[in-house]
Each structure stands twice: as C-alpha cells, then as structure tokens.
Amino acid sequence: MYPKDLMQILRALPINLILLTTLRMISAAETPSKEATPLDLKGTNVQRLEVSASLIGFTSTKVFYTLGEHRVVVVIHIDNTKKGFPVTGKVCQFAKEVTPNDMANWLNNQYSDARFPKVPEPKVTVQLPEGACQSLESKLLGQKSAANTAYNHYRVEFKLPEVKVNEQIRLTEFKDTVNVYVMVK
C-alpha cells in the first residue's frame, strides 16, 4: 500500500511526533477561517451624516457613515482648501458595550461644540491608506453665502476601493456624492 521507503521513514519517527502532526492537521482543518466582515457603506442599515457648515461659515466637508450593529463609524473628509478636493478617511471602531446613543453623542462632538463631555472614545481608529479615497468629478452648482462670506458650491463625487481595515473589518468598494463649499477670494 505504501512505498517501502515511506514505511521505513514512518517507523523511524517517534509516535508522539506523528500524533502531534496529525492533531495539528485535524485542528487546522476544523478551524473556520476568520475573514474580515465586509461593511457596505451604501447598505440600508447605515446612517449617513454630511457636515460642511460651522458657526463661522462653511468648512471642509465630513461625511459620517455609522454602522451601529458593528459599532463602527467611517469618517470621510473632503478638503475644501486644496485644488482637486483631496479625500481622506478613517474607521473608528467602538467597544461592544458602547450604545447607539453613546455613538451618536460621540458623533455630535466631532462636528459641533462638543456638548457631550462624557462620551466613549473609539477603541481602535485606523486611517485609510493615503490615496485610497479619490475625488472623481466636481461640478460648480452656484454660490452660497454664510457669515457675510461668499462660497462656491460644488457637488463632488468620490470613491473608495475595497479596503481591508484590519482583521475584523473590510470596507466594500463604494461611491458617493457630497456638497463642498469653497470660499470665493
């Protein structure tokens, strides 16, 4: 059944080495592979919040995608001060015990006057790779005024390729469109 040489090799090996190797192979075969959970930012359970205004006028645009069941907030930042509207992003992952209300308060503090002093911070924050987020197209829609200042109003489309954030999270590829306001000089 086995070639003669193989049988000689097996007889020469200590039995504990054979058992250990066999157990490792069985264990590896039974262990399910743990793939990163794909998160779809266009999914129906995602809460999207776009912010580009402050008390002193328009600022760079931030878009927050909250995935409550996963305790994750993806923050996309579109710079309104540079040509081409550079896009960056980060993924904030909260502990399992953080409530949706806690996450909403943390989110509010990111763009407003930080009304909520005691909010949980993300347990992990991962910056998306440089250049992963890209603005694709922009269109001038007109002008708006805020705090006695004129701003050009653009509609900007951006994309994010599929990105593995860490061992637990993978963002699926998506596109979105946002409003960006640039101060008229």
Q: Is the pTM of this model over 0.85?
A: no
Give me the amino acid identity at 37.
T
pLDDT reported for residue 115: 83
Which residue from 177, 84, 76, 87 is spatially nearest to 130, judged by alpha carbons?
87
pLDDT reported for residue 19: 47
pLDDT reported for residue 7: 55
pLDDT reported for residue 5: 61
pLDDT reported for residue 2: 53
CB 160 within 8 A of CB 144: no
Residues of the chain falling short of pLDDT 70: 1-34
Distance CA 111, CA 50 (A): 10
DSSP string, 122-159: PSEEEEPPTTSSEEEEEEEEEEEEETTEEEEEEEEEEE
Which residue from 91, 33, 43 is spatially nearest to 64, judged by alpha carbons?
91
pLDDT reported for residue 182: 96
